Amino acid sequence: MDDCSAIRKVMHPHLDGELDAKDSMRTQTHLTACPSCREIFLAEKEFLDLLRKHLTPSPAPPSVRVRVASVRSRDVRSDHP
Amino acid sequence: MESGALLTLVRPEEARKAEFEEITLKYLDSLYGFSLVLTGNSDDAHDLVQDAYLRAYRFYHRYEQITNYKAWLFTITKNLFINRYHQRAREVSLTELEVVEDDPYESPKDVLVAASGRHEKGVFRQDFQRAMDALPEKLRLAVLLKDVEGFDYKEIAEIMSCPLGTVMSRLSRGRNLLKKLLKDYWAGASRQTRLHHAEHAVA
């Protein structure tokens, strides 16, 4: 069985769906067998859910929308970089 | 394929503009938030977003093969920032943050316990934003691109022009620091509430 410190390092990649199938399976197997890692994993998941729920993009000020709208009124093809 | 190219040639300019807007304007809030983190101030963020849209519009005229418009817009924004703004204003802060500290691991259980007493609507969002603002810039960018914008690690590495391992390390450190900051805010708030109650009880 993998040791707990190795599993704890990959908890976030596992939660983010970034582990390949083999590593994901190994992590899942460990979590099923190890109550203390499972408890931390579930708390990490809960924290990330909370974070993502409350950190959403703030609306851009209306002045940004006005500035961006001016882009389409330019003749961009004659505007050299 | 050939008929598609032909359609592009004869498509009226107005239709192209409308199509560009429909595809890109839905990311305006996200791009402004990203620009604000990069530049650190609202005036430069306005300029950066406008320049990014101008550049995107130029390239949109030339290419039809863009598969991920959101990642494409973020990459344009970041490249413009590096070229035009970075050298001017942010050189010091960007380099000094390369120092990697060995932050102690923050238990998610502690922060959840501290959070349990703070369920007022609106307050939570303010606390998360305040903690985000307190993160070092590179860690904040990693958390923004992953947890706010939902990019995967590979996309973040491409947007930020850094290795995948760096993305993982910054994300892990950023989230860990957020836990610490939030735990401190919330623990402090409950201490104050308890004090407040105690004072009332005495009075």
Domains belonging to chain B, first-starting first, are 2-95 (1.10.1740.10), 108-202 (1.10.10.10)
Residue in chain A closest to B180 (alpha carbons) equals A47
Site from B16, B24, B54 to mutate, A interface, most A CB atoms within 10 angstroms: B54
Q: Do B50 and A47 touch (CB under 8 A)?
A: no
Closest-CA residue to B186 (of A41, A15, A54, A42): A54
Distance between alpha carbon B80 and the CA centroid of its chain, in Å? 16
> Between residues B92 and B202, which one has the greater pLDDT?
B202
Q: Do A79 and B33 touch (CB under 8 A)?
A: no
What ipTM does the predicted assembly reach?
0.86
pLDDT band for position B97 (50/70/90)? very low
Distance between alpha carbon B4 and the CA centroid of its chain, in Å? 36
Site from A76, A77, A78, A80 to mutate, B interface, most B CB atoms within 10 angstroms: A76
Q: Please, what are the averages of pLDDT over each run of 10 residues along chain A (81 residues)?
A: 85 96 95 96 95 89 88 55 42
Closest approach of B108 to chain A, Cα-based (Å): 5
With beta carbons under 8 A apart, name residues in chain A contacting B53: 68, 71
pLDDT band for position B193 (50/70/90)? low
CB–CB of B81/B39 below 8 Å? yes
Handedness of CA A53, B186, B37, A15 (dihedral sign): negative
Closest approach of A7 to chain B, Cα-based (Å): 14
